[in-house]
């Protein structure tokens, strides 16, 4: 029971081969069952997550939240799903039927594909491919295609405008995500997700916290959650790219958004918070799943907290923040982190990679990386303070000119 996942694998393998199947067929069946289990976990956990987020936000905003269907309203999500299943899927005249119906399927599928490379424990991962970090970026980007297909095929100008605006924002925030993703990849020397987790005797968050913050901001924007929830923006373009969707087709977009929000928490835990690593995990690998789920839900709670607190920002502010601040900052951070780390490693003071080092051996390198992050972060804060001061002075001059003009007009 120390490694229940390996035990289950061997039990199934022996069972299937004992029934006369070949080893290759047995492996294929087990892989299919694993993929089935992961996909269902990613979808069924939504029932709890939606209830959890509603309850947490309600408490933070002094409301009751779901409290009628089931104990503490826990089955409210099931009731909502039943309602959406009973509604008619209305297809507008002139809509392109195939991409119109394929878009919500692609949106959900792109999120489920991400979980294939997320390690729940050292021996529990869908597929530990050598390009795992690149894979989840590619899989997550399929959701952008779903949004574009939905807006383009709806034969609605509001949907098309909403899709273009959403795609512009999502593509933009992919840039800082990829730049900061390269930092844990380069520090580990591998794109395997399990290798990145295994290398974190000290969590990367403590060595490169600024990279983790930028990655988190970009991921929240990619999901389209507060304060970057401009993919819908009802007050500006009715309901965005999915305005023409109803019934279960709309429910799939809704599920994709919530599932992606939970998936980025799992990726954050994997890349920067040690994933399945924790006390006793080397002796009892099964504990890794507990550590991973706990970290993921703590990050999800933080995401819910920010959603209940922060207001929505304008599209021009979102794009300026990305291209004028996050992209230059993440690029500078990547260059300095890699150069400093390489120079220190070549000096012989610190080993080149962390994957085979103990906690004590990792500590000096973590301190060096943390220093680089603090310097870059401090410089960024000073730049923000200066930009804010310049903007306030500009607004003051502008308001003075307006008041002067109003006074002159009143004098006439």
- pLDDT tens per residue across span 8-25: 888 888 888 888 888 888
In a domain, 288, yes or no: yes
**Count of C-beta atoms within a 10 Å radius of residue 61:** 10
Burial 163-193 (b: 16+ CB within 10 A, else e): bebbbebbebbbbbbbbbbbbbbbbbebbbb
115-168 pLDDT per residue, tens: 988 999 888 888 888 888 889 888 888 888 898 999 999 988 888 888 888 888
Q: For residues 58 and 65, is the Cβ–Cβ distance under 8 A?
A: yes
Hey, CA dihedral for 332, 338, 343, 349, is it positive or negative?
positive
Rounded to whole angstroms, the Cα distance separating 94 from 96 reads: 7
CB-side neighbour CA atoms (13 Å) of 40: 6
Residue 230 CB contacts under 8 Å (≥ 6 apart), including other chains: 165, 166, 169, 224, 312, 313, 315, 318
Q: What is the mean pLDDT of residues 283-302?
A: 91
In a domain, 187, yes or no: yes
Rounded to whole angstroms, the Cα distance separating 398 from 401 reads: 5
Burial 113-136 (b: 16+ CB within 10 A, else e): bbbbbbbbbbbbbbeebeebbebb
Q: For residues 142 and 133, is the Cβ–Cβ distance under 8 A?
A: no
**Count of C-beta atoms within a 10 Å radius of residue 146:** 26
Q: Which of the pair, 91 or 238, is modelled with greater confidence? A: 91
Residue 101 has pLDDT above 80, yes or no: yes
Any bridge partners for residue 121, and if so which?
124
316-354 pLDDT per residue, tens: 888 999 999 999 999 999 999 988 888 887 776 665 554
Residue whose entry in the numeric block shows the structure tokens 């923040």: 321
Rounded to whole angstroms, the Cα distance separating 292 from 266 reads: 8
Query: What is the band of 30 on the pLDDT scale with cuts at 50, 70, 90?
Result: confident
Domain extent for 254: 91-349+362-388
Output phi, psi for 170, to 5 deg: -65, -45
Distances (CA, A) of 257 to 149, 176, 188, 222: 16, 20, 30, 10
In a domain, 68, yes or no: no
CB-side neighbour CA atoms (13 Å) of 14: 6
The torsion region of residue 203 among left (phi > 0), alpha (psi -120 to 50) and beta comes to: beta
For 141, the token pair is: 């980007």
In a domain, 315, yes or no: yes
pLDDT for 341 equals 85
pLDDT for 216 equals 94
**Count of C-beta atoms within a 10 Å radius of residue 294:** 12
Min mean pLDDT across 55-59, 81-85, 238-242 is at 238-242
Structural domain total, the chain:
1
In a domain, 393, yes or no: no
For 399, the token pair is: 């308001």
Helices (DSSP H) in 273-326: which residue ranges? Answer: 287-309, 315-321
In a domain, 394, yes or no: no
For 124, the token pair is: 């529990």
Output phi, psi for 246, to 5 deg: -145, 170
In a domain, 377, yes or no: yes
> What is the SS3 assignment for 124?
strand
DSSP 8-state assignment for residue 314: P
The crossing angle, in degrees rounded to 10, of helices 359-411 and 327-346 is 150
Rounded to whole angstroms, the Cα distance separating 180 from 252 reads: 30
DSSP 8-state assignment for residue 87: S
Q: What is the mean pLDDT of residues 175-202?
A: 90
Q: What is the mean pLDDT of residues 168-180?
A: 91
Any bridge partners for residue 124, and if so which?
121
The alpha carbon torsion through 265, 267, 271, 272 (nearest 10 deg) reads 0
Q: Which of the pair, 95 or 234, is modelled with greater confidence? A: 95
Q: Which of 216, 248, 404, 247 is nearest to 326 (CA)?
A: 216
Q: Which of the pair, 232 or 365, is modelled with greater confidence? A: 365
345-396 pLDDT per residue, tens: 777 666 555 445 577 778 888 888 999 999 999 999 999 899 889 889 988 8
Rounded to whole angstroms, the Cα distance separating 117 from 130 reads: 10
What's the mean pLDDT when you consider all of the chain? 86
Rounded to whole angstroms, the Cα distance separating 169 from 185 reads: 25
306-319 pLDDT per residue, tens: 988 888 888 888 89
For 393, the token pair is: 């002075």
In a domain, 140, yes or no: yes
């Amino acid at each position: 029971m120390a490694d229940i996942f390996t035990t289950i694998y061997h039990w199934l393998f022996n069972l299937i081969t004992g029934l006369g199947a070949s080893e290759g067929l047995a492996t294929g069946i087990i892989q299919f069952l694993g993929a089935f289990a992961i996909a269902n976990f990613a979808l069924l956990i939504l029932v709890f997550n939606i209830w959890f987020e509603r309850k947490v936000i309600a408490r933070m905003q002094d409301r009751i939240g779901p409290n009628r269907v089931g104990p503490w309203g826990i089955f409210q999500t099931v009731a909502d799903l039943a309602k959406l299943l009973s509604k008619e899927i209305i297809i507008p005249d002139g809509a392109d039927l195939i991409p119109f119906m394929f878009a919500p399927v692609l949106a959900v599928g792109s999120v489920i594909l991400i979980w294939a490379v997320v390690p729940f424990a050292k021996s529990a991962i869908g597929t530990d491919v050598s390009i795992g970090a690149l894979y989840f970026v590619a899989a997550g980007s399929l959701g952008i295609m779903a949004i574009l297909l939905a807006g383009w095929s709806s034969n609605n100008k509001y949907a098309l405008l909403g899709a273009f605006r959403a795609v512009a924002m999502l593509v933009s925030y992919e840039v800082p995500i990829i730049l900061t993703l390269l930092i844990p990849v380069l520090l580990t020397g591998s794109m395997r997700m399990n290798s990145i987790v295994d290398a974190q005797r000290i969590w990367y968050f403590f060595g490169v916290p600024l990279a983790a913050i930028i990655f988190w901001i970009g991921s929240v924007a990619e999901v389209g959650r507060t304060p970057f929830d401009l993919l819908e923006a009802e007050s500006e373009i009715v309901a965005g790219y999915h305005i023409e969707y109803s019934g279960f087709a709309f429910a799939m977009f809704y599920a994709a958004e919530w599932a992606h929000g939970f998936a980025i928490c799992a990726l954050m835990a994997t890349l920067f918070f040690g994933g399945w690593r924790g006390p006793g995990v080397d002796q009892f690998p099964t504990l890794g799943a507990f550590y991973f789920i706990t970290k993921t839900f703590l990050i999800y709670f933080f995401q819910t907290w920010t959603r209940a607190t922060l207001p929505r920002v304008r599209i021009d502010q979102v794009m300026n923040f990305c291209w004028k601040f996050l992209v230059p900052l993440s690029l500078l951070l990547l260059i300095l982190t890699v150069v400093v780390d390489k120079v220190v490693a070549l000096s012989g003071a610190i080993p080149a990679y962390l994957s085979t080092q103990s906690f004590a051996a990792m500590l000096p390198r973590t301190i060096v990386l943390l220093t680089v992050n603090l310097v870059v972060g401090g410089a960024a804060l000073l730049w923000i303070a200066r930009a804010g001061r310049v903007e306030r002075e500009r607004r003051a001059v502008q308001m003075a000119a307006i008041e002067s003009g109003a006074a002159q007009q009143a004098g006439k």
